[in-house]
């Protein structure tokens, strides 16, 4: 009976009903009969998730032939080297199915306004294959040395994955000017020849929203990507490859690799690759796994009153002493909060979120280190130093107070280590909390004014 009632609904009302269904239920309803399938095609096929795997080419061609006009969002997974599914095949530009380039260039999808491309460089981080020069072992060692722009074309000619990588970005750049949002995920730490072209720069200049996340890792025995000069060089190059061209973007998100946070300047660190004149129209900024640094505050100072929202996820301060740790230039949390409050008086949305509570002791820092699964709260022992007990007591008695993360990178391995002593000192001093409270008070006041307006 319910099915008959739905069948009798006018098309406009049926589409309205579908707006209250999730994607799975909507797809199930469209499979019920040809009428539902026809009415709901624009909803069911609004987004397409595709890969470059050759076994998917035929079904992608069929979907595009029938439903291209409905597709507004494309999520594309590009494999740059042999995948677990395909065995030992080496992917090349010429062996890649033409539908891949038709999708990325949007020649086959003229209405796509949101594009997400996720790179899959190789099955694991330790196997060489075509990933790098023979003998270097693959993984992080593609960044063993810096690479100049003049050397890029030769690398793209010698290594198939480099040519695929460049061809993908070239295809995106040469598509119709309908792209409003671009997400580039798991970006390999190399520059491409495609990023030097006017077409690439013009495409970035027309975006309203942009997200970038970075590939990184370790060599399996502790050494991280940031121990190699080529990796740090690739981070610095992100400005010329991306950020200085985002002239129109109002929403920008940068996600560093959690094992290789970026920000500050030092032995294993480089500044966040955004200069004051970049992002002239940004209103919503999100950073993941970054150090707050002077490059960031300089950018904020050049955009007074411009930010409406600012989210920091798993971000750090490099400490309060330039002579301790790998960072040569540091910024305390209180200095950062003060700068943000003074330069961005219109901020109405601010989030500071840690993946885990900043540790106060060595045991707490390494509690369940490396374990997968849900976070299990640390239970402190009865016997702890008096200053640690004082901090825990202060947090318990004053729930509005919090710890702010101070961190360094190991000078040998590049891994992240917390400053337990600085976490304690900063809490006892109270300057971070004072400036944080002033910032939150301003943000909440702006939010109330916005609701009352």
DSSP 59-127: HHHHHHHHHGGG--EEEEEEE-S--TTTTTPPP-TTTS-HHHHHHHTTSS-TT--EEEEEEE--SSSS-
Task: Assess contact for 322 and 297: CB atoms under 8 A.
Answer: no
Category of 370 on φ-ψ map: left (φ > 0), alpha (ψ -120 to 50) or beta: left
DSSP 89: P
Give the SS3 label for residue 452. Answer: helix
pTM above 0.95, yes or no: no
Which pairing describes strands 416-418 and 407-409: parallel, antiparallel, or unpaired? antiparallel
Q: What is d(CA 415, CA 227) in angstroms, rounded to the nearest whole number?
A: 9
Neighbours of 16 (CB within 10 A): 11
Q: What is d(CA 48, CA 71) in angstroms, rounded to the nearest whole number?
A: 7
Give the SS3 label for residue 35. Answer: helix
Q: What is d(CA 172, CA 194) in angstroms, rounded to the nearest whole number?
A: 10
Each of the 453 residues of the chain gets a pLDDT tens digit; together they read 444 555 666 666 766 766 666 666 656 656 555 555 665 565 656 789 999 999 999 999 999 998 888 889 999 999 987 644 444 557 888 889 999 999 999 999 999 999 999 998 764 433 344 445 433 345 788 888 899 999 999 999 988 889 999 999 999 999 999 999 999 999 999 999 999 999 999 999 999 999 999 998 888 788 999 999 999 999 999 999 999 999 999 999 999 999 999 999 888 999 999 999 999 999 999 999 999 999 999 999 999 999 999 999 999 999 877 656 778 888 999 999 999 999 999 999 999 999 989 999 999 999 877 677 777 888 999 999 999 999 999 999 999 999 999 999 999 999 999 999 999 999 999 999 999 999 999 999 999 988 665
Neighbours of 340 (CB within 10 A): 24
In 237-282, alpha helices (H): 238-241
Query: Dihedral of CA 327/333/335/337: which sign?
Result: positive
Task: Assess contact for 316 and 412: CB atoms under 8 A.
Answer: no
In this predicted structure, what is the pLDDT of residue 287?
98
């Amino acid at each position: 009976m319910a099915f008959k009632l739905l069948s009798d609904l006018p098309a406009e009302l049926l589409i309205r009903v579908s707006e209250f269904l999730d994607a799975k239920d909507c797809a199930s309803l469209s499979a019920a009969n040809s009428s539902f399938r026809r009415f709901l095609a624009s909803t069911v096929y609004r987004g397409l998730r595709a890969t470059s795997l050759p076994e998917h080419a035929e079904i992608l061609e069929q979907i595009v032939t029938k439903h291209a006009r409905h597709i507004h969002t494309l999520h594309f997974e590009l494999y740059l080297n042999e995948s677990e599914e395909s065995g030992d095949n080496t992917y090349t530009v010429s062996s890649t199915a033409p539908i891949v380039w038709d999708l990325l260039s949007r020649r086959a999808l003229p209405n796509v306004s949101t594009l997400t491309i996720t790179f899959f460089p190789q099955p694991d981080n330790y196997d060489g294959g075509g990933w790098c020069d023979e003998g270097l072992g693959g993984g992080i060692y593609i960044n063993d040395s810096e690479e100049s722009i003049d050397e890029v074309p030769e690398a793209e000619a010698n290594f198939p994955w480099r040519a695929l990588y460049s061809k993908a970005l070239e295809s995106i750049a040469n598509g119709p000017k309908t792209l409003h949002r671009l997400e580039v995920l798991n970006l390999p730490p190399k520059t491409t020849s495609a990023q030097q072209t006017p077409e690439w720069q013009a495409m970035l200049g027309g975006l309203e929203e942009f997200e970038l996340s970075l590939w990184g890792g370790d060599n399996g025995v502790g050494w991280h990507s940031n121990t190699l000069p080529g990796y740090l060089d690739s981070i610095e190059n992100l400005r010329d490859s991306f950020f200085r061209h985002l002239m129109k973007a109002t929403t920008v998100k940068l996600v560093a690799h959690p094992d290789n946070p970026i920000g500050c300047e030092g032995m294993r660190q480089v500044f966040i690759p955004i200069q004051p004149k970049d992002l002239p129209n940004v209103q919503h900024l999100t950073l993941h796994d970054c150090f707050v640094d002077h490059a960031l505050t300089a950018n904020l100072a050049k955009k007074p009153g411009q930010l409406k929202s600012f989210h920091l996820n798993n971000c750090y301060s490099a400490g309060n002493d330039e002579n301790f740790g790998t960072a040569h230039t540091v910024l305390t949390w209180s200095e950062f909060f003060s700068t943000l409050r003074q330069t961005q008086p219109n901020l109405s949305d601010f989030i500071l979120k840690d993946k885990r509570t900043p540790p106060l002791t060595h045991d707490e820092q390494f509690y369940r280190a490396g374990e997968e699964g849900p976070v299990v709260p640390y239970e402190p022992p009865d016997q702890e130093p008096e200053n640690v007990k004082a901090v825990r007591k202060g947090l318990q008695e004053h729930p509005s107070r919090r710890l702010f993360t101070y961190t360094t990178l190991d000078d040998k391995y590049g891994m992240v280590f917390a400053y337990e002593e600085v976490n304690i000192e900063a809490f006892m001093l109270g300057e971070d909390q004072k400036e944080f409270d002033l910032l939150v008070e301003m943000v909440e006041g702006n939010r109330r004014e916005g609701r009352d307006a």
